[in-house]
Amino acid sequence: MANSQDAIAISTLGDRRHASVNAHALGSTHDGGPRVFYMYTPNFCVMIRRGICLFAILLFSLIVIRDWGGFWSDIFLYHPISMAIAFMGILPELLQSIVELQGPLHMINQRRNILRDHRYNALSFKAFCAFGIIIIEFSKFRRSKSHFVTWHARIGMLCEILQILETFIGLSLYYGIFDRCFSVSHRIMLRIIHRQLAFFVVITGLIAIFLGMFSHYAERVFESIFIRVLFATLPTILALWGYFCAL
């Protein structure tokens, strides 16, 4: 059975329990061994978290849309919706991929797949955040309102600036833009800076989301204090869930 090329081996990434890995042997490589590709199957913990994320985003969006009377009533409503998608839907997946990249990877295909997912989640997260910032600033400009007068807005803009720096460094490292200009020690330093920026992006973003649920807008739309506290803390809970569930 072990010598058959049609055998299916099931293992995990190191000692982590977040996903099962199905390895299918197809043909042979140059050294006589089987050629393997990997398919990741999320475990029950990850599936439950994703279900809660989806339900929370839908509930949040329905409350916002109901208050504004439809999708096309005002572009402002896309600011909270895009931020909800970014922090309740994508951020937990992004943190899970970070843990996976830091863990032991026994096959090169595993790292390629996880790095691809990490890059996709990171760019999606930043795209939704940038869209939300553009929407709110355009809405304020059109209504001649002051910009960055609350701590929610200031910390949110700081988060966006950190994201731009993090994205530039991350893509530069991925595509090797500085490989010929910087030494190995310099590239290691860039990786450390990239990780530190990512940490502060998450922290400032979660703080901004928390403060946003106690703004005048949130008090009007989400009348119940319980609902506001729930949506203020849920992004942090889901982010921690995504991180620690992948350990």
d(CA 219, CA 232): 12
Give the integer Cα–Cα distance in Å for 109 and 52: 30
Instruction: Domains for the chain: give ranges and CATH numbers.
Output: 44-244 (1.20.120.1770)
Whole-prediction pTM: 0.81
For residue 204, give the nearest of 162, 243, 142 by alpha carbon.
162
Query: What single letter denotes the amino acid at residue 130?
Result: A
Mind listing the pLDDT tens digit of every residue in the chain (247 residues)?
444 444 333 333 343 444 444 444 344 444 454 444 444 556 889 999 999 999 999 999 999 998 876 666 678 999 999 999 999 999 999 999 998 888 765 555 677 888 889 999 999 999 999 999 999 999 989 888 888 999 999 999 999 999 999 999 999 998 888 888 888 899 899 999 999 999 999 999 999 999 999 999 999 999 899 999 999 999 999 999 999 987 6
Q: Is 70 exposed, middle or buried (0-12, 13-18, 19+ CB in 10 A)?
A: exposed
